[in-house]
Amino acid sequence: MIDALSNQPGPIEALATEAEPIQRRTFWHRFFRRRNAVIGSAILIAVTTICVLGPMLWAKNPTAIDFLAFGKGPSLHHLMGSDDLGRDELTRILYGGRISILVGFLSMVIGIGIGGTVGAISGWLGGAFDFVVMRVVDIALSIPSLFLLLLLSVVFPPGVLSIAFIIGITNWMRPARLMRSQVLSLKPREYVEAAHAIGSPPWRILLRTITPNAVAPLIVDGTLLMGQAIVTEAVMSFLGFGVQPPIPSWGNMLTNAQTFIVSMPWLAIFPGFMVFVTVLGFNLVGDGLRDAL
């Protein structure tokens, strides 16, 4: 009897242990009740799995040349056909997908990282610092993105990491504005005042009290940003300013597609379709998150 009683958690403990899972359950519940979110998640899981695991199952070399298959259409031997140099299109799609997802993820981390930090500090400090940062945001937003991206891509040494870095540092402005407005709206809340009152140092309040409550819009923006970064990488590589051959990327696989548009149409269809489907996945999940959060 006494044992049973002592195992019963007190009212405060009960709140602490149960409140969080309930909230989490309702979030995922809301998220997966939306058809968009389910379709988007399915697309992203499928694309990621195929690109990460695919090369282990479809063991071909993306740069290996098959002399018996110059520009052959899809067949059992080459499921998506082969390109003008006799390289297996499916293998290149899989390796290209790894590059795309890597670039998308890294640029998202860089963009959200810079934007979130700058925006949080700017909103927290206010005053002259905030004014200057927001004017820098205005300036950065005024140069049409693709023009700036192409300029940057010529200045930085070519390479996958450079591309991710360039796309990241040109996409920090929107997260910065989002984070700043979040911090501004949370600053006067009671629990922030309470944190001040118990003597927490400012950096700790910003990091521990405000940030956890401010990240929701950043998560949505980060999801959409990953999709945009993948298109951006594809456009840059298509124009010849992104990932350089022989490293395959969905974008640079389309560079020559226009030349072979009649003779090898599959070269123009598959890489673009992969970009389209992946970006669609990110957009659907992003919207689903926005509705659920």
Partner 1 sequence: MTVYVARRLLLSIPLLFGITAIIFFLAHHLPGGPLAMYLNTASVTAEQLQHLTVQLGLDKPVYVQYVEWLGRAVHGDFGRSFADGRPVLAVIFERLPATLELMGASFALSAILAFAVGITSALRRDSLFDYAVTVISYAGMSMPIFWLGILAIMLFGANLHWLPTAGMGTAGQPYSLSDNMRHLILPMCVLAAFTLAQESRYVRASMLDVVGQDYIRTARAKGLAERTVILKHALRNALIPVVTVMTLDAAYLLSGALVTETVFAWPGMGRLFYDSLREGNYPVVVGIAVMVSVLVVLLNIVADVLYGVLDPRIKYH
Please answer whether residues 249 and 237 qualify as being in contact, where contact means their C-beta atoms are separated by less than 8 angstroms. yes
Verify binding: residue 123, partner 1, rule CB under 8 A.
no
Verify binding: residue 146, partner 1, rule CB under 8 A.
yes
82 vs 252: CA distance, rounded Å:
15
Verify binding: residue 38, partner 1, rule CB under 8 A.
no
Which x/- pattern over 242-271 shows residues binding partner 1 (rule: CB under 8 A)?
Answer: ------------x--xx--xx--x--xx-x
Verify binding: residue 128, partner 1, rule CB under 8 A.
no
Q: How far is CA 161 from CA 47, 99, 233, 286, in A?
A: 21, 10, 11, 25
Please answer whether residues 100 and 278 qualify as being in contact, where contact means their C-beta atoms are separated by less than 8 angstroms. yes
Q: Kind and range of the H or E element at 13?
A: helix 11-33
30 vs 25: CA distance, rounded Å:
9
Neighbours of 52 (CB within 10 A): 13
Closer Cβ to partner 1, 55 or 104, answer by number: 104
Whether the bond between 212 and the residue before it is cis, its omega within 30 degrees of 0, is no
Residues 41-100 that bind partner 1 (CB under 8 A): none
Residues 185-244 that bind partner 1 (CB under 8 A): 227, 231, 234-235, 238-241
> Shortest gap between Cβ of 142 and partner 1 (angstroms)?
5
Question: Residues 109, 150, 215, 247: which binds partner 1 (CB under 8 A)?
Answer: 150
Closer Cβ to partner 1, 203 or 276, answer by number: 276
> Shortest gap between Cβ of 39 and partner 1 (angstroms)?
10
By C-alpha distance, which of 198, 225, 193 is closest to 210?
A: 193
Question: Residues 143, 161, 207, 219: which binds partner 1 (CB under 8 A)?
Answer: 143
Residue type, 192: V
* 96 SS3 class: helix
Question: Residues 136, 184, 215, 247: which binds partner 1 (CB under 8 A)?
Answer: 136
Site residues (vs partner 1, CB under 8 A): 135-136, 138-139, 142-148, 150-152, 154-155, 227, 231, 234-235, 238-241, 254, 257-258, 261-262, 265, 268-269, 271-273, 275-276, 279-280, 283-284
